[in-house]
Amino acid sequence: MAATRSLLRSPILKSPLRSLSTSAAATSNHNNHQSRHQPNTFLNSWNPPKDPKEAEAKLLQLRRQYAKKMKEVRKEYIQEMELQRLEKQRRDDARRESIRIAHEERKAAKAATKKAKAAEREAAEAEFRKTLLKERTEKLEYWRMKEKKIEEKKKDKNELVRRQSSMWVRWSGLSRGLILCGGQWGLSYLNLSQESHLSMPKQK
């Protein structure tokens, strides 16, 4: 059992598995390359001639054509990479612009909310000051009316006292006059009674 495990863990058995996975990946990449690119005309295009000079000239021509083709491929590759770079830059710029616009919108919304809250707070403070001023005015008017009523009551009381005093003075004067008149009337009555008694004839 242990020997079997050691064999399974040995690099001898792992290397075929690695080769299989590598070959599978290479086959997949080759298939992707074939599906994306056209087959090259230079492959399997060499037919060795019998004359060495002709073979050398043909090989030189093939090398020149290959160099020309590779130059065009490099140029196309550079253009494609440049287009991809420009497209990526365009996407990045668009993403940054959208982020900037969203940030500006959030900033504007926050500023608008802050401004609205400040306006509401200012309106509430103005309403509070207005209410406080109204309450103070009402209290001042109430105290003024109260003081006015107190003054009117004092005046009425003083007027009543003055009237009562004048009536008392008049009544005391009238009483004194009546007493004097009553005393004089009593004396006159007594004198008349005495005179009438003296003038009456005596009965025998």
pLDDT, one tens digit per residue, over 31-40 is 655 555 565 5
How big is the chain by its Cα radius of gyration, in Å? 68
Percent of the chain with pLDDT over 70: 58
Q: Is the pLDDT of residue 180 over 80?
A: no
pLDDT value at position 194? 56
The 10s digit of each residue's pLDDT in 89-145 is 999 999 999 999 999 999 999 999 999 999 999 999 999 999 999 999 999 999 989
More confident residue, 106 or 45: 106
The rounded distance, in Å, linking the Cα atoms of 157 and 164 is: 10
Residue 69: how many CB atoms within 10 A of its CB? Answer: 13
Helix H or strand E segment including 166: helix 52-199
Q: What is the residue extent of each domain of the chain?
A: 53-176
Whether residue 164 is predicted with pLDDT greater than 80 in this model: the reply is no
Look at residue 51 in the predicted model and tell me its pLDDT: 74
Q: What are phi and psi of 203, to 5 degrees?
A: -85, 140
Residue bearing the bigger pLDDT, 153 or 37: 153
| CB within 8 Å of 69: residues ≥ 6 apart | 42
Amino acid at 121: R
Structure tokens at 79: 């253009």
Across all residues in the chain, what is the average pLDDT?
Answer: 75
Q: What is the pLDDT of residue 72?
A: 92
Question: What's the confidence (pLDDT) of residue 88?
Answer: 95
Give this prediction's pTM. Answer: 0.38
Q: Choose between 185 and 97: higher pLDDT.
A: 97
